[in-house]
Amino acid sequence: MTDTYLTVLSAVIARLKADSTVTGLVSSRIYSDVVDNPTFPFIRVEIQSQDYSTKDYAGMEHTVQISSFSRQTSPEQAGQIRAAVYNLFNRQENALSAAGISNILFNGVSLIFKEADGKTWNSTIQFRAVTL
């Protein structure tokens, strides 16, 4: 099995940065490691990976978590970013096939909530991506 974490991370970030709807909302502020004192809104991409091999093939299953952070007074902007991300990735395997992703699906986890600082809206959505 080849570890495809970095390949998937790079492909997801590149796809986000190439989409005009997403960049219209967050510009190029799409990170895997958020900078100090970031400008809002922005997106953070995190991935957890595990083996997805059988006797017939070797692969990995990745939980791709895409979180957006907004400082607007309502959750509207965070919701718009989440909708754009959902439309960009759910069932869009062809867009990520160069990274070896055989399927990517919304896994049913999606939250919008205000952070403990009382100022920041967090919108998080998760996808399951499989590489073979």
Phi, psi of 38 (to 5 degrees): -70, 155
pTM for this predicted structure? 0.93
Report, as an integer, the average pLDDT of 97-112: 87
Taking only the tens place, the pLDDT of each residue in 21-56 is 999 999 999 999 999 999 999 999 999 999 988 888
Taking only the tens place, the pLDDT of each residue in 105-128 is 999 889 999 999 999 999 999 999
Paired tokens of 37: 């004192």
**Whole-number Å distance between alpha carbons of 85 and 77:** 12
The residue assigned the tokens 């997403």 is 22
Element (H, E) at 86: helix 76-89
* Chain centroid, CA 51 distance in Å: 20
Pseudo-torsion of CA 45, 50, 53, 57, nearest 10°? 20
What's the pLDDT at 2?
Answer: 80
**Whole-number Å distance between alpha carbons of 88 and 92:** 7
What's the pLDDT at 62?
Answer: 94
Q: Could you say which DSSP state residue 127 is in?
A: E
Element (H, E) at 17: helix 5-18
